[in-house]
Amino acid sequence: MTDDRAGLTGRRILVTGASSGIGLATARLFAQSGAQVALIARDATRLDQAATAVGGVGLVADVRDPAAVTAAVAAAVDSLGGLDGLVCAAGINARLPIESVSDALWADVIATNLSGTFYTCRAALPHLSVAGTAGAPASIVTVASGGALLPPGSGYTAYAASKGGVVSLTKALAREAAPAVRVNCVLPGNASTPITQSLMATMTPTEREAKLAAYALGRIAEPLEIARAIKFLTSADSSYAVGTSLSIDGGRIFH
């Protein structure tokens, strides 16, 4: 069943990190809303399964590689016939005390979360600008994290730095890309995805309990609850939102 209350029918949307978690939930929600969707991730098998399940086009690319990103964006434009929306959800996490963060891990977290978002926005913007100038404004939604504003504990130097960069990049690009393209950011709290599951596996039972207690709702999010916010920022329902950072975090209580 499609839901076109947000006017997404026929919109052409590219989602990175779309083979799992928040990106997959977002691609699925867009497709259910009548959009045409292209999905980017690295692992071809998982991506194929996701693209088939969603009814979209899978494009294998590593967002750390600018040439691969440019090629994948061009392929998405070819296959969808243009581009009206981009969601940058590809990301990785790391939770280690700073003295254990190797040069390679630091570089990987920054390359994936921050540079990957930059490369994807840079490659997609000309296409989005064309669509946004010709019709309804196009849209970019970046995915940062509540940890960009206040890390939930120790061990988040690389991750928080990368996501703080995403928030700043979003605000700077929002000024540059408007009015043809609206650029906004979501800051999720923890959602039930493999990133969070592997992170929580590193915690003691007491730490896990404290994590859940830090949310006013007493639970972490379902990926769909984050996807709905991304859909809102992509659709005309958020027509006056530009450069905003939308926290969707179940009322995370900062200690």
Ligand X SMILES: NC(=O)c1ccc[n+]([C@@H]2O[C@H](COP(=O)([O-])OP(=O)(O)OC[C@H]3O[C@@H](n4cnc5c(N)ncnc54)[C@H](OP(=O)(O)O)[C@@H]3O)[C@@H](O)[C@H]2O)c1
Q: Which residues are catalytic?
A: 159
Q: Which is nearer to ligand X, 71 or 130 (CB)?
A: 71
CB of 192 to ligand X, least distance (A): 7
Taking CB under 6 A as the criterion, the residue among 58, 137, 188, 250 binding ligand X is 188
Place of tokens 């991730």: 41
Distances (CA, A) of 141 to 121, 138, 245: 10, 10, 10
Any idea what the Cα angle at residue 102 is, between residues 99 and 104, rounded to 5°?
160
Q: Which is nearer to ligand X, 42 or 171 (CB)?
A: 42
Count of residues interacting with ligand X (CB under 6 A): 33
CA distance 146 to 255: 14
CA distance 3 to 140: 21
Asked whether position 190 contacts ligand X by CB under 6 A, the answer is yes
Over the window 11 to 30, marking each residue x when it contacts ligand X by CB under 6 A and - when it does not, the resulting string is -----xxxxxxxx-------
Over the window 62 to 101, marking each residue x when it contacts ligand X by CB under 6 A and - when it does not, the resulting string is xxx------------------------xxxxx--------
Sign of CA dihedral 139, 144, 146, 150: negative
Asked whether position 112 contacts ligand X by CB under 6 A, the answer is yes
